[in-house]
Structure 1
């Protein structure tokens, strides 16, 4: 497997993040999300304008992973928390963390999560929150192995279709 080169994303990465975000979201959820709603969601939530705005916002951080040839293969987005749980001072949300399927395994997910934790620590976070689809048992196990515990739930809407997400938290160590 080609190694992933990780770095902080920059304004010039908005188009690559849009393509990567859309591709990973489709690959992750096309099996049980309604097609038209899924496409509309990807266009809005993973459009280039979304990533350009996130990159311009100092309260958000994007990490991007690329091959040695510069092809994007993974990313993570940290934001101020917006999940419906009791918040604490020092909370930060890991809003998105994705790898293309060909780069999953072999420690790449753990490496990306570690980088996200390091970024959270640099930002003064004490606790990292995230939401994961209830049907994604593999991701839930991954987060549990890395110290995350379930603390709540929320509903994630894709068009008119509701999906139950579980909210997890871990101390930023």
Structure 2
């Protein structure tokens, strides 16, 4: 069954937060200590933080009989830590539950985000992707994203277990 895509609303917050925390832990937890993982979840994906982001950004969710993924996007900043000008739109997160991966859900979410008026208005779209996340890197490449920078990920202790690759897509149709 193909997923349905819709805009998230405030009442989605508990399920959205649980999905974000679970998918992040499944994808990256093995690369982090338990303390570092808990710090990241409590700092970046807490219910309070997710509520702030839901009010600021657009979230599209994918559902079948339950929520199986989401994409978060909004306006990008002017310059990132590498000094790269990132004015435009930014896909901040694209998370799909492990059991729903490799079934086209990520493709549906990314296409819906790129077609959204909030992104279409910008000449460039940016996304950060973990350097070892080959599946996500292939997905973004299919949509015309190319690497334009890299920045270290810093955990609570200031350690860098790896890097986020900064990808950019110019306005074009796929």
TM bucket by the smaller chain?
Answer: 0.7 to 0.9
Q: Are 1:95 and 2:127 matched, yes or no? A: no
Aligned to 1:74: 69
Counterpart-to-counterpart distance in 2, 1:56 and 1:137: 31
Query: CA offset at residue 119 of structure 1?
Result: 1.8
SS in 2 for 1:139: helix
| TM score, norm. by length of structure 1 | 0.87
Counterpart-to-counterpart distance in 2, 1:121 and 1:33: 34
Counterpart-to-counterpart distance in 2, 1:23 and 1:109: 16
Instruction: Report if aligned partners of 1:150, 1:168 keep a CA contact under 8 Å in 2.
Output: yes
SS in 2 for 1:31: helix
1:142–1:150 Cα change, 3 Å: same
Q: CA RMSD in A?
A: 1.7
Query: CA offset at residue 115 of structure 1?
Result: 0.7
Query: CA offset at residue 114 of structure 1?
Result: 0.1
Query: CA offset at residue 77 of structure 1?
Result: 0.7
Q: Are 1:114 and 2:111 matched, yes or no? A: yes
1:1-173 equivalences under 5 Å are 2-57=1-56, 60-68=57-65, 71-82=66-77, 83-84=80-81, 85-88=84-87, 91-119=88-116, 124-160=121-157, 161-162=159-160, 163-173=162-172
SS in 2 for 1:79: strand
Instruction: Report if aligned partners of 1:95, 1:131 keep a CA contact under 8 Å in 2.
Output: yes
SS in 2 for 1:144: helix
**CA deviation map 1:34-55 (0-9, x unaligned):** 2111112112211111121122
Query: CA offset at residue 101 of structure 1?
Result: 1.2
SS in 1 for 2:129: strand
Segments of structure 2 that go 5 or more residues without pairing to the other structure are none
Query: CA offset at residue 122 of structure 1?
Result: 5.4
Segments of structure 1 that go 5 or more residues without pairing to the other structure are none
Query: CA offset at residue 73 of structure 1?
Result: 1.0
Give the aligned length. Answer: 166
